[in-house]
Structure 1
Amino acid sequence: MAMNAPRGTQDILPGTVEKWQYIEETLRDLSHRFHYKEIRTPIFEHTELFQRGVGDSTDIVQKEMYTFEDRGGRSITLRPEGTASVVRSFVQNKLYGLANQPTKLFYFGPMFRYERPQQGRYRQFIQFGMEALGSEDPAVDAEVLSFAMKAYEELGLKSLKLVLNSLGDQVSREAHRQALVDHFSPHKEELCGDCQLRLEQNPLRVLDCKKDKDHPAMETAPSILEYLNEFSETYFDQVKRYLDAMGIDYEVDPNLVRGLDYYNHTAFEIMSEAEGFGAITTLSGGGRYNGLVEDIGGPDTPGIGFALSIERLLMALEAEGVELPAEDALDCYVIAMGEKAELEAVKLVDQLRSNGLQVDKDYLQKKMKAQFKAADRLKAKKVVILGDREIEEGVGNVKDMTSGEQKEVKLEEIVNELKVEKEE
């Protein structure tokens, strides 16, 4: 029986992985400009972390987590998202005690959710995320939003829409919660089973239901913006003023609630409006989560963050016809013909690599013509040809594959010449 990758996973092969690397390098560079530091957390955590951090009423916890018992009888879960793990590390390592606050972190890594695979959605997927912990300044919200938009724009996307909402503070949410219960209760039996449960656990999640989205009660549901108290309304207005000052366009959507329980105040999504992108247009999302650090056992610490899927980013780039400048060309390919030449070629390849050049050679004993074809397929900029005659004369033939020019260079000077040309 043929062995295939598990459903909902993928192999990222050479030729494609270079695009991933370019994206990662771009995001890492942008993170440094915004003064965010990288953090790496375990791929699996204690299940309780996600039950407390993500929320029992979410689809992630109820339906999508990969959870198992280890040999010690402990319940372990492959991380379905990154924020809870980062916050756990923030608490465990007492990063809140560092002199420089807020603590600004970013991460890359695989996440795992058991959901129906579809285009751009996998059971193992790669996320980039960033978290700012320790400040309740609306300017930090605007900074995170600015980063998210710049990340896509610097990679070449243009058909973007930033959608904002405020979920308010605890007081505002309680008032809105009761209004939602009063509104949906007369229609409870008409709602799906999940929404009937959500109405008791977290009514705000009813607004995010895909099954009941066309129910008439959805259109007349009370908006959170009608229940924001003065503090929450002022906070949201300040975030919008900062975005206006930076020239960042946005749209306010009072029905945007996000899928995780820990959000409050600012919530947002970035969507692709590219033609042919697909029915699910969301590229990334995030928001403020004051209270999450405390829920996980730390001190009362505000936080905000967002995460984006690399897979969906690649889909959006393809939809807009954006070609990433991810060049994969050899600096040099060494061709050897003859026993003495082969020995010298192994030595030369090693020296060139030690001097920072990307170099390869033939390992299949091909004829010279076939080796030239290999060099051409690998987009080699230079080819060094060594034969037993050249070795006896102490030279090598260096050919420029762009111009076709060829010249003899002393063996001891080849490394320095190719190094200098690369640096130029």
Structure 2
Amino acid sequence: MTDAQNTPKIQPFHAPKGVPDYVPPASADFHAVRSTFEKVIHDSGYGHIELPVFEETALFARGVGESTDVVSKEMYTFEDRGGRSVTLRPEGTAGVMRAVIEHNLDRGQLPVKLTYSGPFFRYERPQAGRYRQLQQVGVEAIGVDDPALDAEVVALADRCYRALGLSGYRLELTSLGDETCRPQYRQKLQDFLFALPLDEETRKRAELNPLRVLDDKRPEVQEMLADAPLMPDHLSAEAREHFETVTGLLDDMGVEYTLNPRLVRGLDYYTKTCFEFVHDGLGAQSGIGGGGRYDGLMAQLGGQDLSGIGFGLGVDRTILALQAEGVSPTTGRRVDVYGVPMGVEAKKTLAVIVDHLRRAGVSTDMSYGDRGLKGAMKGADRAGALFALVLGEQELADGTVVLRDLTTREQHEVALQDVVDTVRRALA
């Protein structure tokens, strides 16, 4: 037996459980969804903010709410080498608020309008649409308590989905009241809940934040909650006027929505306007994005007593929703032009031509590894190219290259010095 046969086989590594990889060609859809969201948002005047991937644990405990499943069950928390408790970010709003306070962004023109994107982390049981590393694009508009701003943010989220061609979702909307009516409603809801035969964990949740009990998905709990008092029936006059202004503006903007008085977001900081985008094509994990207003959060984190509103759109779940509708956000085309060299000298010449095309703004790739014509053309097909540039010894001697239309299969020779202009005209 040889030494090679005696050597134990090295086992390959795998991605952590619940953490998806996006690789070509599927990664093109991921990139298209995220970049489309980002463009729509940037075109609406939101500036980019890049957040740390981890923060002090206390930021999320105080900002997100200790009664939430996110804080109590799902955070990736650990001690660093200095003995400090840090947590991989489970959501974006608390980190944005921390940055706004720390860098005095709230001391300038208001509202402060920011957008962010990237991975967030929650220790959940992995399933379709629910990952331990999830990708989001979000916005926050901070510093102005204006229902017109609420309407802008809701409509902006809706426009992000429309820009992808997504249509089979619904926007659910409600109001969670303000400081003038929430305490009274909280007491009414707790009185109702404490009269029910709740299990110990649910009763503790009712003590901390009774609204969270309304979000319990268990059928037996939902049956007990059928006659529970609902926040929209107990709004103050000011909170009701705020919400009616929001819905009126959305009507005028042509944004369709459904009023859902039982809507409860999974984080404690929401007040007044609250919304969620739901797609039934995803099964149990039907939420694809959402958000709301969070008056009081900045003061709770040590800043001014300023209000804000924002949303987070799930990139992963949006991809699943697009797949459920049979809609692709991409053309399947990686490049427009693909170079096919036949021979060493042809490869050198074509490599320079490819570089010139790229400098001219033409997306271009070429075959490497001395493959034959048939194998190289398969590469062009896989790249989704519209045109191929075929250069062999004869063309090289003649100072030409063959430009082949991969749709019509027509082809003709082009002088090497005219390739860039000819290709640009063909693409135009």
Normalising by structure 2, we get a TM-score of 0.92
Deviations 1:390-413 (A, max 9, x none): 333322233222333333322222
Which residue matches 2:3? none
Matched, 1:74 2:90: no
Distance in 2, Cα, partners of 1:89 & 1:378: 42
The 2-side partners of 1:34 and 1:388 are apart by 53
Are 2:7 and 1:2 aligned? no
Q: Is the 8 A contact 1:19 1:326 kept in 2?
A: no
Q: Is the 8 A contact 1:191 1:212 kept in 2?
A: no
Partner of 2:62: 52
SS at match of 1:313: helix
Measure how far apart 1:263 and its partner are. Answer: 0.8
Counterpart residue number, 2:126: 117
Q: What corresponds to 1:200 in structure 2?
A: 207
Cα displacement string for residues 198-221 of structure 1 (whole angstroms, at most 9, x for unaligned residues)? 122112212112237535541122
Partner residue in 2 for 1:358: 363
| 2:111 aligned partner | 102
Q: TM-score, normalised by structure 1?
A: 0.93
Q: Are the structure 2 counterparts of residues 33 and 397 from structure 1 closer, same or farther at C-alpha, using a change threshold of 3 Å? A: closer
Match of 1:227 in 2: 234
Match of 1:262 among 261, 265, 269: 269
Distance, in Å, in 2 between the alignment partners of 1:212 and 1:385 is 64
Q: Tell me how far apart the structure 1 counterparts of residues 32 and 395 of structure 2 sit (CA, whole Å).
A: 40
CA contact (8 A) 2:128 2:285 kept: no
Q: Could you tell me how far apart the structure 2 residues matched to 1:173 and 1:8 are?
A: 37
Contact 2:130–2:285 (Cα < 8 Å) also in 1:
no
Give the CA deviation at 1:192.
Answer: 2.7
> 5+ residue gaps in structure 1?
none
> Aligned pair in 2 of structure 1 residues 121, 216: CA closer, same or farther (>3 Å)?
closer
Quick one: structure 1 residues 159 and 403, their matched pair in 2 at CA, closer, same or farther if it must change by over 3 Å?
A: closer
Match of 2:169 in 1: 160
Give matches, 1:194-343, under 5 Å. Answer: 194-211=201-218, 214=221, 216-273=223-280, 276-343=281-348
Q: Higher mean Cα deviation, 276-285 or 135-144?
A: 276-285
CA contact (8 A) 2:76 2:87 kept: yes
Report if aligned partners of 2:293, 2:309 keep a CA contact under 8 Å in 1.
yes
Aligned counterpart, 2:149: 140
Aligned-partner residue type, residue 290 of structure 2:
G
Instruction: State the shift of 1:128 in Å.
Output: 1.2
Q: Is residue 150 from structure 1 mapped to residue 159 from structure 2 by the alignment?
A: yes
**What letter matches 1:205 in structure 2?**
R
8 Å contact from structure 2 (residues 129, 282) kept in 1: no
For 1:364, give the aligned amino acid. G
Shift of 1:29: 2.4
1:80-124: per-residue Cα shift (whole Å, max 9, x none)? 01111111111111111223x211111111010001111111000
Q: Distance in 2 between matches of 1:390 and 1:246?
A: 59
1:17-40, Cα deviation, whole Å (9 max, x unpaired): 111222223212221332222211
The answer to whether the 8 Å contact 1:192/1:212 transfers is: no
User: Contact conserved, 2:126 with 2:132, CA < 8 A, in 1?
Assistant: yes
**Alpha-carbon distance in structure 2 between the residues aligned to 1:158 and 1:359:** 33
Q: Structure 1 residue runs of 4+, over 6 Å off?
A: none
How far 1:240 sits from its partner (Å)?
Answer: 1.9
SS where residue 219 of structure 1 aligns? coil
Aligned to 1:398: 403
How many residues are aligned here?
418
**Against the structure 1 CA distance between its residues 381 and 80, is the aligned structure 2 distance closer, same or farther, given a 3 Å change threshold?**
same
Q: Please, what is the CA RMSD of the aligned residues? A: 1.9
Q: Given that residues 397 and 406 in structure 1 are in contact (C-alpha distance below 8 angstroms), is that contact kept between their aligned partners in structure 2?
A: yes
Among 180, 185, 196, the alignment partner of 2:189 is 180
Task: Supply the AA of the counterpart residue of 1:137.
Answer: D
Which aligned pairs between 1:355-394 and structure 2 lie closer than 5 A? Answer: 355-394=360-399
The answer to whether the 8 Å contact 1:65/1:112 transfers is yes
Which runs of no fewer than 5 residues in structure 2 stay unpaired? 1-10
Aligned equivalents of 1:17, 1:89: Cα separation in 2? 31
